[in-house]
Chains A and B, each alone.
Chain A
Amino acid sequence: MSSPDTPRLVDSFSAPKEVLQEFADLAEEENFDPFAETASKRQVAARQSDYHNRRFNREGVESADAFKQGGDAGDSGYKEAMRLQMLEKEEARVRRAIEDKERKREEEEGISAADLDKTPPRAEFQAAEKELAVISAGAKRKRRWDVAEPSEVAKQEPESTGEWSEKALEESAPKKRRSRWDATPAEASAVAETPKRSRWDQAATNTEDDAPMAQIIMNAPGLNQDDKHNRYLTDEELDAILPPTGYVIVTPPAGYAVNPARKLMPPPTPVYSGFQIQEDSDAAAQAEAAGLAPDLPTEIPGVGSLAFFKAEDAQYFAKILKEEDETVLSVDEMKERKIMRLLLKIKNGTPPVRKTALRQITDKAREFGAGPLFDKILPLLMERTLEDQERHLLVKVIDRVLYKLDDLVRPYVHKILVVIEPLLIDEDYYARVEGREIISNLSKAAGLAHMISTMRPDIDHADEYVRNTTARAFSVVASALGIPALLPFLKAVCRSKKSWQARHTGIRIVQQIAIMMGCAVLPHLRNLVEAIAHGLSDEQQKVRTMTALGIAALAEAAAPYGIESFDEVLKPLWLGIRLHRGKGLAAFLKAIGFIIPLMDPEYASYYTKEVTVILIREFQTSDEEMKKIVLKVVKQCAATEGVTASYIKQDILPDFFKAFWVRRMALDRRNFKQVVETTVELAQKSGVAEIVGRIVNDLKDESEPFRKMVMETITNVVSSLGASDIDERLEVRLVDGIIYAFQEQTTEDQVMLDGFGTVVNALGIRVKPYLTQIVSTVLWRLNNKSAKVRQQAADLTTRLAVVIKQCGEDQLLSKLGLVLFEQLGEEYPDTLGSIIAAEGAIANVVGMTQMNPPVKDLLPRMTPILRNRHEKVQEASINLIGRIADRGAEFVPAREWMRICFELLDLLKAHKKGIRRAAVNSFGYIAKSLGPQDVLSVLLTNLRVQERQSRVCSTVAIAIVAETCGPFTCIPAILNEYRTAELNVRTGCLKALSFVFEYVGPQSAYYCDSVVTMLEDALTDRDLVHRQTASTIVKHLALGVAGLGCEDSMLHLMNLVWPNCFETSPHVIGAVMDAIEAMRVTLGPGILLSYVLQGLFHPARKVREVYWRIYNALYLGAEDALVPFYPDLGELSEGQNVYDRHPLQMFI
């Protein structure tokens, strides 16, 4: 920014504010898209970081299949790939050199503007301002850059290029500025050669460079300048928009360059990018693609209607958007259009359309061929506006197609990798899994040798992003093809003399293998460690760091085994921590932290002592990352067996508390957690009193986050180790501190509450002296103005109830109960829920008879609350009511219970399963105390309602009533209700019966004959669901009565169930098969076998299939028992084959 004493520039060089505002408003009105915000969240690229989006800079190369017989492996093999990679590296080097030179030259000139990422020095601004002042004064100034077009100068709008002269342009710049990220300094020299063009022309021009190779990825139309979103405004357009006076073109700052990606991008070559071919017949579609025709199609010829269609899709699918005469197309063109249609269906279609299209593309994959398929799929995946769902579907297509193509895929391995590798570092877990699966399938299809030769060039790629993703991809290959197969290659790469990048990537591959495969590295642990061990003494710092991280990952994966494999790295590691500082040291410490837990106790103790010196020194560090690692290592060391309590107390604790138990550590959430975890781990060794004693005074610290950190630590320590170690004096300080911290909190959260509850419960009866004080605090807070405070007080009551009862302070409980009762009018649902829960907790410990307020007063008060729609309130009330119904139903008049029954029906609609279950159980309790008749009639009537969920819950409740009050009370009523003509009611009755028989088990034997007629009716009903539910009843009945002498009626039911075995609907056939299985148990396998034998060799295959399915189930269930029942087939013997079972034909 300019210095304050320079005069403020008036907007004489710019349009008046209101004019600009008008345009901005217009633009906003027209382009306002209410979905834009959510759409950008769904878009993968919009969500991801710059690092992730570096994937757009990559390009895939096609490689020949070296394994193909007779194929020409000539140009595009491994050699070629390596050559290209060398070329790229050299290019990067030259660019850097040019950049350096440029910078030096500018420095000499006194303007160091090359690095646009940095804030330019003040002098530059002043220079710019001077320049602008001159322009605005109207003085003609000689231009270096656009001398050729002086006539236009006056009309042009000053373009804000990056942060350059931001202050000066503050008033005048157009609303949407191009961010400074657009400007890439590196290619300055490359663009500098086109001095004649205006700044806006450059990007819009399609430079007809000759492309060195096919760039399938970069050809994605989404990146094309022709796209209406990315296109720069032309001079003509700007002229049309802006007022004719008041604008000038300012010179770009020195060192500014147009984004080279746009500038240098080669035009699409027809062979590889089918979408881009500019044919005459395509003109209309192309115009549409460019956004000239605004409305998007919803119906595509040959595709049908789609779920959605985006503007970007029009570019990719331009060719199939219009009708064309198919007879003039060649076979290849037809094929291409076919693929495009299928892809469009998969990407944008409705689920059924998508499903069939996916199957078609899979079935025809080999017919289409790898080339045409991937040429279409891969650019779609690189589209910037791609959304998660689309990406998922396209990845799925690749996966399916890969299976089919198998080794045909070889030439496309690199292209696929370029697109899929970014998935490996996606923040979405499922995307990572999908990426892994594809790469694993790819490596199985292409083979190890081809994968290595394809990915080898990327290992020492100049871009760190590429190396990172390649390493991850390699680890997937290793897990797919086995570590031993990849090991020789890994060893070679890790020892590469050519470049440190290769070694770095090699070691990173090992690290990724360890992270991905976990304990599966154990068999190869020694080899893997040996492969990377030498990296600890590499000359490159980055390699050393990565090696240490790799060893850390291996040790973590191997834990608790495999210490012997790490022998050779122990010495360099422990020496290394004395030699390194900063990042390197952090990595080394991390490795040590993971190795120590693997050691034998005595070694662990020795090595811990060695490392402690450094750790204690690093306690002082100001580096956040280092702090976290140090804390982690301390935790790991403390957890090892060999480290003694006295050592921790003497050598670690004093410095540890001095360095980490400071207020600042509590401010960052991650530090907070780490400190708490480490301290808890130290407490496991050194004891509760030692740790709690050190921090208990800080419960009264003035910083609230710090108090929370103390509280959380105490909570965790006490809950894992108990409070028996705490002596009387400490106990006083502790309880005092906790009450203080609890009262002083400004933001009520779980930490204080949990801490209070945990400590008080751990102290148990020892807390009695403090109870009066605690309860008065609670009572006072229950009447607080803030709802949050009241809620917290109620929650605390819930936790304290048990302890108060233990201490025998019943009158305190009854006082709390009364106060809570008075609070039941609470209006905040969260608070109300807590209050009801607290009341419930008190009722729980005191018992229904002693409860104050008496249950007969409490329950009527609860009835209206049941109507509250809030989930928490519902759950708390239903729990309380259920408890009362269970234990003290007799204290409440029957009429009140019936009222509650009706209210409970509403709860059956609740979303939360817990609420529904509690409600259903409450019906059982109420029925038990009232007798089932009334409750049952309520429930049976409820079967008539519309909602399925409510009906289902009613059936369950009926079954529970039947279980608690005896089936004889319910079954007649259910059978009677079954005669209703309504389908829902009949199904409901069947369901209820099915649950009844499931719950009552062997008691079913008494009711078996009474339900047979009803089941006859249900099993011969036309309705599928009826037969299905009836089959379920038969299953439960049959299992219940097994061995109880009901075979006759069961056989009758079996005859009714059997014909249903040809049903095809999955639920029905499942229920029928279950019923048949259950029959095997009741009737015995012999009878079942006689049924099955009828159809095992039936002439119709469909019959045979079903019968064999039943036979197999029968066979698996009763293999041995079938032996005596197999028919005697001796008469079928022929020739050498004798089918008599002689051993069974012997007799004495």
Chain B
Amino acid sequence: MSSRAEGELRYTANTQLEHLHARYTGTGHADITKYDWLTHQHRDTLSSIPGHPTLLSYLAIADGEAKGRVKFELAERMLQPCGPPPPKEDD
């Protein structure tokens, strides 16, 4: 990548990227950590299941719980679905 093009990217693409991040959670960037990315995946999964009622029923039957209960538990899991964030390495 030439330096000029890089400069352009810095001024156009990245500014757009910042907008994107501000507006949509779940988008990532080149420096994202494994933890952050996976947390997003988990949240997406947890929110997707109640959106597909058949899948929700399936889970409810497998768990032997009421659908409402399953839904509630999924919602509860949304907070830190992968546990607390790992300590920062560099400080």
A positions within 8 Å CB-CB of B: 1064-1066, 1096-1097, 1101-1102, 1104-1105, 1108-1109, 1111-1112, 1115-1116, 1119-1120, 1122-1123, 1126, 1129, 1132, 1134-1139, 1141, 1143-1144, 1146-1148
Contacts and interface: CB of A to CB of B under 8 A. Distances in A.
B13 A1132 contact: no
B30 A1108 contact: yes
B22 interface: no
Given A1064-B5, A1115-B27, A1120-B51, A1143 B83 contact: no
A1126 B41 CA distance: 7
Given A1112-B28, A1126-B41, A1139-B38, A1102 B1 contact: yes
B44 A1132 contact: no
Contact of A1104 (B20, B30, B45, B46): B30
A1148 B58 contact: yes
Given A1102-B1, A1148-B62, A1116 B34 contact: no
B82 A1135 contact: no
A1120 B48 contact: yes
B62 A1141 contact: no
Contacts of B62: 1146-1148
Interface centre among A1126, A1143, A1146, A1147 (most CB of B within 10 A): A1143
Given A1064-B5, A1138-B83, A1120 B38 contact: no
A1098 B24 CA distance: 24
A119 to B, nearest CB: 63
B44 A1119 contact: yes
B13 A1141 contact: no
A1116 B86 contact: no
A1141 B41 contact: yes
B90 interface: no
A1065 B58 CA distance: 49
Contact of B74 (A1126, A1143, A1148): A1143
Contacts of B32: 1108
Contact of B45 (A1105, A1109, A1112, A1144): A1144
Interface in B3-31: 5, 8-9, 12-13, 17, 20, 24, 26-30
Contacts of A1122: 44
The bracket for how many chain B residues form the interface is: 35 or more
B84 to A, nearest CB: 6
B63 interface: yes
Contacts of A1137: 35, 82-84, 86
Interface string B29-62: 1101011011001101110110100000011011
A1123 B35 contact: no
Contacts of B8: 1066
Contacts of B61: 1148
Contacts of A1148: 58, 61-62
A1022 to B, nearest CB: 18
Contacts of B30: 1101, 1104-1105, 1108
Contact of A1119 (B26, B29, B42): B26
A1096 to B, nearest CB: 8
A609 to B, nearest CB: 55
A1143 B70 CA distance: 10
The 5 closest A-B pairs by CB, nearest first: A1064-B5, A1104-B30, A1136-B83, A1146-B62, A1112-B27
Interface string B62-91: 110000000000100000001110100000
Nearest to B8: A1066
A1136 B17 CA distance: 31
Contacts of B1: 1064, 1102
A251 B10 CA distance: 71
B5 to A, nearest CB: 4
Nearest to B26: A1115
Contacts of B49: 1143
B2 A1064 contact: yes
A1143 B46 contact: yes
Main secondary structure of the interface of B (DSSP, over half): helix
Contacts of A1146: 58-59, 62-63
Nearest to B44: A1123
A1123 B44 CA distance: 7
Contacts, number: 82
Contacts of A1116: 20, 24, 27
A1123 B49 CA distance: 9
B23 to A, nearest CB: 9
Contacts of A1111: 28
Given A1137-B83, A1148-B62, 14 more contacts: A1064-B1, A1066-B8, A1096-B28, A1102-B1, A1111-B28, A1116-B27, A1119-B26, A1119-B44, A1126-B41, A1132-B38, A1135-B83, A1137-B82, A1143-B59, A1146-B62
16 contacts: A1064-B9, A1096-B28, A1101-B30, A1104-B30, A1105-B30, A1112-B20, A1115-B27, A1120-B51, A1122-B44, A1126-B44, A1136-B86, A1137-B86, A1141-B45, A1143-B74, A1148-B58, A1148-B61
Contacts of A1115: 24, 26-28
B45 A1129 contact: no
Nearest to A1139: B38
Contacts of B46: 1143
A1105 B86 CA distance: 24
A1075 B23 CA distance: 24
Contacts of A1129: 38
Interface centre among B1, B30, B74 (most CB of A within 10 A): B30
Contacts of A1065: 5
A1109 B29 CA distance: 7
A1120 B38 CA distance: 15
A1101 B24 CA distance: 23
A1137 B36 CA distance: 11
Nearest to B74: A1143
Nearest to B28: A1108
Nearest to A1148: B62
B24 to A, nearest CB: 6
B45 A1123 contact: yes
A1127 to B, nearest CB: 9
A1126 B12 CA distance: 30
A356 to B, nearest CB: 11
Contacts of B12: 1066
Contacts of B74: 1143
A1093 to B, nearest CB: 11
A352 to B, nearest CB: 11
A187 to B, nearest CB: 54
A1132 B35 CA distance: 10
A1138 B26 contact: no
Contacts of A1143: 45-46, 49, 59, 74
B64 to A, nearest CB: 10
A1114 B17 CA distance: 14
Nearest to B6: A1064
Nearest to B41: A1126
A1111 B24 CA distance: 13
A44 B72 CA distance: 69
A815 B83 CA distance: 89
A33 to B, nearest CB: 40
A476 to B, nearest CB: 26
Interface centre among A1097, A1105, A1116, A1137 (most CB of B within 10 A): A1137
A1120 B44 contact: yes
A1062 to B, nearest CB: 8
Given A1064-B2, A1064-B9, A1138 B82 contact: yes
Contacts of A1138: 82-83
A1065 to B, nearest CB: 8
A1109 B41 CA distance: 17
A1141 B58 contact: no
